[in-house]
Chain A
């Protein structure tokens, strides 16, 4: 055996295999080669081309959906974490210029708000309100501070001013309803002056004007734009969202009125439409009760107690309802009674479906009898009538009269009657009551006219009697003497109480009165001497009246003239004149 054939035999199968592989794999091989080329090409271009394409690709993808953001989130987060773990400083340096001022601003605003609220809370914590809040905290399971802060955060934007920054002139003004607005132009100018003052005094930058002012419990929040300023007057503690409202309104006005602002020369008419843009700023937050209110708890308790009592004392079950026809007849009878009764008006009456009873609604004068009392004898069970009555005023004559008697409360000796809209008063009454009666009667429903012909005014009568008594008095003097005789003095003593009465009556009647003290003399002696006597006698009586205090009566002494009559007597007489009737 030689080695040759043996070698050959082994070579043969190897070549065959090669051929087989070539046969089987040629098409794939070409493909694989092509692929390899592409991969190599990609490896070449990648860095440059990708860096060109990436930003655009990212932009597009982000615009399309959130997948990219989602995908990047985790690596970015972990990159940040790693960075912070390794050395936080670079990140801090990068972010702090942005965040620093924001935080400072937020913190100081929060502290301001907190101190405001806390002051309020401290003030309130011992007051009844504070105690009520404690109860509410206990009831709702919240902390007292939370409840107190909640209640303190109550505010209302009462006014909004739109101000032309340069001149301080008012362009537009919006006021919350029911607010009494002060002189808006003045407020606007004052705000501007204050801003100017602060500006100059503290040398702050042009864009950092005053942001808030406090006047008593009013806060003024100010937002500045380049040409316009908006200011909100706020009562209470407003949240920062109000400032956003102001900013929004300012931005809106600035955009919409750009030209009008630029050409502003004092003419405010073009800004009339601005008000509508300011009005959304008039926000408010009112106290609202949360949690179960006390009355609800109370009501619940009452219901529970009532239910228990009812269960314990429940009457035996009702007998079955009467047949429908008799029941209906009884209801009709009841309704007829109601309708016949003055002061009751049936508006609606109907049978409930399924025989549950009857529903009634109507009007009832408070003077009318209770509608349920008319049920008696109809055979209708009260529980089967569901009635709703509302109050009204009936003009039935008997009612009008009753109301008049209650309102006027006539003194003994006065009778009141009423017919056809006329209220008649008869008898005697003092003036003060009559005046009241006039006023009250005018306001009584159903009374169109007041008859007073049969009513005697006792004040007036007293006046007439007193005046005529006083004017009959003659105070005697002796011949040629200017002092009262003993008789005269006694007579004056009687007259004094009457004079005091005159003063009182004059006051009651609202009259100003002059009481003339008229001096007379007889005709013996010279005319000159008599003239002196007349004057002196009047003066003498005046002095005798010194001790009396008059408020409606003025005393006026004078000598008698020929017109006075009784001239030829040695007397002093009185005359009563009404000062207001010439």
Chain B
């Protein structure tokens, strides 16, 4: 202890790869199986930012679907969040828009990153350059990343950027 701790949340529609991204980042593993998250799963990651030890408590929150939205209590006290969309399902993009509105309303202007995930599935890719631009331009956005939990591409970059923004955002 004595280190800096931050609570960060993974947000998005169901099945976009939130759990997979965390598993890739924390344990360097990937599984093609899909086990939907119920409630919240908490992971811890320790890293160094500019020579400073930082402990991230990553709250991997259940994805939203038409029946259930994210419980506001889970977001409480978060220093930042990652919005995850599935690059092969355009509808998940609208999903993060609505989540983002609610998160900002609850948490105030905390930093966030956006992940367009499943980059390895190039053939089914549905998101465009414009989508990326419009997100990058939003205030508080600490980066937009095309990630793949399967290959590991940019996963670490994405979460490090979020951690850095959360540490500096105070």
Q: Are A168 and B39 in contact (CB under 8 A)?
A: no
Considering only residues 57-94 of chain B, those with a C-beta below 8 Å from chain A are 57, 59, 71-74, 76-79
Q: Assuming A167-B76, A168-B7, A267-B4, what are 17 further A-B pairs, CB within 8 angstroms?
A: A167-B57, A167-B78, A169-B5, A169-B7, A169-B77, A173-B1, A185-B5, A186-B44, A186-B57, A189-B7, A193-B39, A193-B59, A193-B74, A196-B73, A197-B73, A266-B7, A266-B167
Chain B positions within 8 Å of A189 at CB level: 7, 42, 44, 57, 59
A200 is an interface residue with CB less than 8 A from chain B: yes
Q: Chain A at the B interface: mostly helix, strand, loop or mixed?
A: mixed
Q: Residue-by-residue, is A169-188 near B (CB-CB < 8 Å gives 1, otherwise 0)?
A: 11011000000000101100
Q: Residue-by-residue, is A195-219 near B (CB-CB < 8 Å gives 1, otherwise 0)?
A: 0110110000000000000000000
B3 is an interface residue with CB less than 8 A from chain A: yes
B170 is an interface residue with CB less than 8 A from chain A: yes
Whether A196 contacts B5 in the complex (CB less than 8 A), given A186-B44, A189-B42, A189-B57, comes out as no
- Among A166, A168, A172, A200, point to the contact of B57 (Cβ < 8 A): A168
B153 is an interface residue with CB less than 8 A from chain A: no
Instruction: Find the A residue at minimum CB distance from B72.
Output: A200
Kindly state the separation between the CA atoms of A314 and B38 in the bound complex, as whole angstroms: 83
Q: Are A170 and B2 in contact (CB under 8 A)?
A: no
Q: Are A266 and B4 in contact (CB under 8 A)?
A: yes
Most chain A CB within 10 A, of B4, B44, B57, B78, is at: B57
A50 is an interface residue with CB less than 8 A from chain B: no
Chain A positions within 8 Å of B7 at CB level: 167-169, 189, 266
Most chain B CB within 10 A, of A170, A199, A265, A272, is at: A265
A156 is an interface residue with CB less than 8 A from chain B: no
Which of under 10, 10 to 19, 20 to 34, or 35 or more describes the interface residues of A?
20 to 34
Q: Chain B at the A interface: mostly helix, strand, loop or mixed?
A: mixed
Most chain B CB within 10 A, of A172, A196, A269, is at: A196
Q: Are A269 and B2 in contact (CB under 8 A)?
A: yes
Whether A200 contacts B73 in the complex (CB less than 8 A), given A167-B78, A169-B57, A266-B5, comes out as yes
B40 is an interface residue with CB less than 8 A from chain A: yes
Instruction: Find the B residue at minimum CB distance from A187.
Output: B42
Instruction: Find the A residue at minimum CB distance from B46.
Output: A185
A268 is an interface residue with CB less than 8 A from chain B: yes
21 contacts between A and B (CB under 8 A): A166-B76, A166-B77, A167-B5, A167-B76, A167-B77, A169-B57, A169-B77, A173-B1, A185-B55, A189-B7, A189-B42, A189-B57, A193-B59, A196-B71, A196-B74, A197-B39, A197-B71, A199-B73, A200-B72, A265-B79, A267-B4
- Least Cβ distance of B30 to chain A in Å? 22
Q: Are B39 and A272 in contact (CB under 8 A)?
A: no
- Least Cβ distance of B71 to chain A in Å? 5
B6 is an interface residue with CB less than 8 A from chain A: yes
What are the 8 tightest A-B residue pairs by CB atom distance, in nearest-first order?
A167-B77, A196-B73, A166-B77, A189-B42, A167-B7, A169-B5, A265-B170, A200-B71
Chain B positions within 8 Å of A106 at CB level: none
Instruction: Find the B residue at minimum CB distance from A171.
Output: B1
Instruction: Find the B residue at minimum CB distance from A193.
Output: B40
Kindly state the separation between the CA atoms of A330 and B142 in the bound complex, as whole angstroms: 96
A164 is an interface residue with CB less than 8 A from chain B: yes
Chain B positions within 8 Å of A164 at CB level: 77
- Least Cβ distance of B58 to chain A in Å? 9
- Least Cβ distance of A264 to chain B in Å? 9
Q: Are B1 and A170 in contact (CB under 8 A)?
A: yes
* Interface size, chain B (Cβ < 8 Å): 24
- Least Cβ distance of B11 to chain A in Å? 15
- Least Cβ distance of A260 to chain B in Å? 13
- Least Cβ distance of B87 to chain A in Å? 29
Chain B positions within 8 Å of A186 at CB level: 42, 44, 57
Kindly state the separation between the CA atoms of A167 and B78 in the bound complex, as whole angstroms: 6
Instruction: Report how many A-B pairs have Cβ atoms within 8 Å.
Output: 73
Instruction: Find the A residue at minimum CB distance from B43.
Output: A186
Chain A positions within 8 Å of B170 at CB level: 265-266
A84 is an interface residue with CB less than 8 A from chain B: no
Considering only residues 8-36 of chain B, those with a C-beta below 8 Å from chain A are none
Chain A positions within 8 Å of B42 at CB level: 186, 189-190, 193
Interface residues of B (CB under 8 A from A): 1-7, 39-40, 42, 44, 55, 57, 59, 71-74, 76-79, 167, 170
- Least Cβ distance of A303 to chain B in Å? 57
Chain A positions within 8 Å of B6 at CB level: 169, 266
- Least Cβ distance of A472 to chain B in Å? 58
Most chain B CB within 10 A, of A164, A168, A183, A197, is at: A168
- Least Cβ distance of B27 to chain A in Å? 14
Kindly state the separation between the CA atoms of A69 and B25 in the bound complex, as whole angstroms: 71
- Least Cβ distance of A182 to chain B in Å? 11
- Least Cβ distance of A222 to chain B in Å? 15
Kindly state the separation between the CA atoms of A271 and B44 in the bound complex, as whole angstroms: 20
Considering only residues 265-281 of chain A, those with a C-beta below 8 Å from chain B are 265-269, 271-272
Chain A positions within 8 Å of B71 at CB level: 196-197, 200
Kindly state the separation between the CA atoms of A172 and B3 in the bound complex, as whole angstroms: 12
Chain B positions within 8 Å of A183 at CB level: 44
Whether A268 contacts B77 in the complex (CB less than 8 A), given A197-B39, A197-B71, comes out as no
Kindly state the separation between the CA atoms of A190 and B60 in the bound complex, as whole angstroms: 12
Chain B positions within 8 Å of A168 at CB level: 7, 57, 76-77
Kindly state the separation between the CA atoms of A197 and B77 in the bound complex, as whole angstroms: 15
Kindly state the separation between the CA atoms of A272 and B72 in the bound complex, as whole angstroms: 30
- Least Cβ distance of A193 to chain B in Å? 5
Q: Are B73 and A268 in contact (CB under 8 A)?
A: no
Q: Are A268 and B74 in contact (CB under 8 A)?
A: no
Chain A positions within 8 Å of B74 at CB level: 193, 196
Instruction: Find the A residue at minimum CB distance from B166.
Output: A266
Kindly state the separation between the CA atoms of A266 and B155 in the bound complex, as whole angstroms: 24
Kindly state the separation between the CA atoms of A190 and B42 in the bound complex, as whole angstroms: 7
Q: Are B2 and A268 in contact (CB under 8 A)?
A: yes
- Among B1, B59, B76, point to the contact of A268 (Cβ < 8 A): B1
Instruction: Find the B residue at minimum CB distance from A196.
Output: B73
- Least Cβ distance of B127 to chain A in Å? 31
Chain B positions within 8 Å of A173 at CB level: 1
Kindly state the separation between the CA atoms of A189 and B5 in the bound complex, as whole angstroms: 11
Chain A positions within 8 Å of B76 at CB level: 166-168, 196
Chain A positions within 8 Å of B59 at CB level: 189, 193
Kindly state the separation between the CA atoms of A173 and B5 in the bound complex, as whole angstroms: 14
Q: Are B2 and A272 in contact (CB under 8 A)?
A: yes
Chain B positions within 8 Å of A200 at CB level: 71-73
Kindly state the separation between the CA atoms of A267 and B3 in the bound complex, as whole angstroms: 6
Kindly state the separation between the CA atoms of A267 and B52 in the bound complex, as whole angstroms: 12
Chain A positions within 8 Å of B77 at CB level: 164, 166-169
Whether A170 contacts B5 in the complex (CB less than 8 A), given A190-B42, A197-B39, comes out as yes
